[in-house]
Structure 1
Amino acid sequence: MTDRCIYIDADACPVKAEAEAVATRLRVRMVLVSNGGIRPSANPLVESIFVPDGPDEADKWIAERAGPGDVVVTGDIPLAAKCVAAGAQVLKPNGEILTPANIGNVLATRDLMQDLRSADPFRQGGGRPFSKADRSRFLDALDRALRRPV
């Protein structure tokens, strides 16, 4: 087992099972962080952390611990920015890799879209459904991230 860790922002993560399969194959510790409602895994490499209810409690927990060599899986862009700044590799569940080179643009786009949604209360949805191709891209990106030298 390596010193690396996969931190999963687990409350709304659609790729927990895929991440666990990769973690098991590569013998990497994985931590699922949530406010509850997630069944703990029997896998000895997988730890479940339940944080108190409240805004961004899981994000705070992950941001305080993630660092170089770790991989963070989240769709939360402010959390991703903190983890990238701490030296962790960050993946969105669709396999998109967030890096120091692109996190500023991703954060700015998120803020712009949030402003547009708040300005137009009738604006519907925004994202496309999660697909098999997204799942496949995630698996490939996680495998590459964990095989990359620290």
Structure 2
Amino acid sequence: MHIWVDADACPQVIKDILFRAAERCRIPLTLVANQALPTPPSRFIKSLRVRSGFDVADQAILDKIAAGDLVITSDIPLAAAVIDQGGQVLSHRGELFTSENIRARLNVRDFMETLRASGINTGGPPALS
């Protein structure tokens, strides 16, 4: 098992929790982002910097995961693709995405995107606490 983190939008407090878990459980953890990310010195933790661009980090994760790997992301399309490849997905808020709930989440995401495109202010998720 390997833990992959879609790290561009992942809060630092969550990264810190993941760092401790990777070290304690001796599980490889890779942060994937389009910028350099500081990581603690550990043989289990590393970062992968990808070029800037739309979904470049997502594609890098999809290219590298294996069945059974865990991906931390709040990107619903990425979560769906990971599930299709046999991976496990958690949001950075701890929500487990599964084959049973991901299609509904994609539908809600698309509906909200349509509302925003038509000028309706839908707000956003509550602040992480």
TM-score of the superposition, structure 2-length normalised? 0.93
Q: What percentage of aligned pairs have identical amino acids?
A: 39
Equivalent position of 2:26 in the other structure = 27
- Tell me which amino acid in the other structure corresponds to 2:4: Y
- Give the 5 Å matches for 1:108-147: 108-120=107-119, 123=121, 125-131=123-129
Q: Which residue of 2 aligns with 1:145?
A: none
1:72-111 alpha-carbon deviations (Å, 9 max, x no partner): 0001111111001001110000100001111100111111
User: 2:10 maps to what in 1?
Assistant: 13
Consecutive unaligned residues of structure 1, counting only runs of 5 or more, are 132-150
CA distance in 2, matches of 1:101, 1:7: 22
Q: TM-score, normalised by structure 1?
A: 0.81
CA shift for structure 1 position 130: 0.8
Name the residue aligned to 1:135.
Answer: none
- What is the match of residue 48 of structure 1? 47
Q: 1:58-69 residue pairs with structure 2 within 5 A?
A: 58-69=57-68
Check conservation: 1:71, 1:88, Cα contact below 8 A: yes
Whether 1:92 and 2:91 are equivalent positions in the alignment is yes
Shift of 1:40: 3.4
2:82 match: 83
Q: Structure 2: how far apart are the matches of 1:44 and 1:69?
A: 21
Q: Structure 2: which 5+ residue stretches go unaligned? A: none
> How many residue pairs get matched?
127
Q: Partners in 2 of 1:17 and 1:40 — Cα distance?
A: 9
SS in 2 for 1:40: coil
**Residue identity opposite 1:68 in structure 2:** A
Structure 2: which amino acid aligns with 1:8? Answer: V
